[in-house]
Amino acid sequence: MRRSRLKHVGVATLLLLGSWTASGTLPAAAADSPTAAKAPSASTGLLKAMQQDFGLTLAQAEDRIAAERRATKIAPEAQRAAGDAFGGSWFDAGRERLTVAVTSAASPATRRAVRATGAQVRTVEHSARKLDAVKTRIDRLDAPTGVSGWHVDPAANTVVVDVVSGKRADNDVQRFVKRARETGPVEVRTVATAPRTFAAGTVGGDPYYTGNVRCSIGFSVHGGFITAGHCGKAGAAVSGWDRSPIGTFQGSSFPDNDYAWVSVGNGWWTVPVVIGWGTVSDQLVRGSAEAPIGASICRSGSTSHWHCGAVLAKNETVNYSEGAVHQMTKTSVCAEPGDSGGSFISGDQAQGVTSGGWGNCSSGGETWFQPVNEILNRYGLTLHTA
């Protein structure tokens, strides 16, 4: 019943699913029409997931979502108000407010202007421009496999270099850390294991396939969908959960980046939806406003389905065994093989496509995604929104 019903809608669901999962199967319960009804951005299912994954009450979940929307809205204005003194920003979940760091060079007028946006102000030593320059210099270094990645941590006001547990004494790691510290303010932290991508070999279920690799669709764009670059190379054919042809990879980049886009045809169409897998209601996509560090975020994928967490870092360089990938966003959301390319969403705003990480959804872990706006700009695509 389900498969025959999805023969035509499958593409719609797949595509809509493609709006958030770049490496996986088609959701089990797809919409029967490519036209979805408007739904509140904070659905009952989403609030339930927030309660489960963050240990919140219903009222706390509602308050947090509302506070994150405010923080997302004022973040660009607060950065402009800070000017050259801007040291980064993040969402303070405890106070439910955006925090904006400014250097000691910020004038009283600048501080007042930042506070006038609704943000709270913290004084730091280094500007965001300086920290970004340090990270860029580290990007030019050749990283050994014992170094899992590096990123700017605005709350700590430093560049963090993550080293795999048990590898700090490795000679290559020590040399890399020494050279990294010579570039500017750097803090070394230890992580459990090295990151990996989340593509998977062919398994049963509702997948999209490239050869014998299963990946989940990310987000629908006009003319196709975006997904992870490691799921397929330009020119590779893509088939749906039922093995019927969908389209072709029109562009793909991995490593250095981890993004791609697939054209859609053969009776398939796109819809602005991320599937909730029965955990939450299917989520409409209404835009791609970037959530700040500290904000809650959820991920949908064909293997582990729907899980939530928080944004931990932005513009991180992740050092996979295949090579470094830049400008990634780090999250506390778990993922598993087959989830690659799947959608990351905050409220009703698309955030990015699943790349890789470490751990699983039984014991926990961390996952990185490639930001959606970078992908849209790279290929000149337009997000399909409700």
366, two tokens = 């961390």
Paired tokens of 198: 């989340």
Catalytic pick from 126, 151, 230, 307? Answer: 230
Nearest CA-CA partner of 216 in 73, 335, 125: 335
Are the beta carbons of 268 and 230 closer than 8 angstroms?
no
User: Does residue 253 carry a catalytic annotation?
Assistant: no
Instruction: Please confirm, yes or no, whether 258 is among the known catalytic residues.
Output: yes
Active site residue 8: no
- Which entry of 43, 252, 340, 346 is annotated as an active-site residue? 340
From the candidates 258, 282, 339, 348, give the one annotated as an active-site residue.
Answer: 258
Residues marked active site are found at: 230, 258, 340
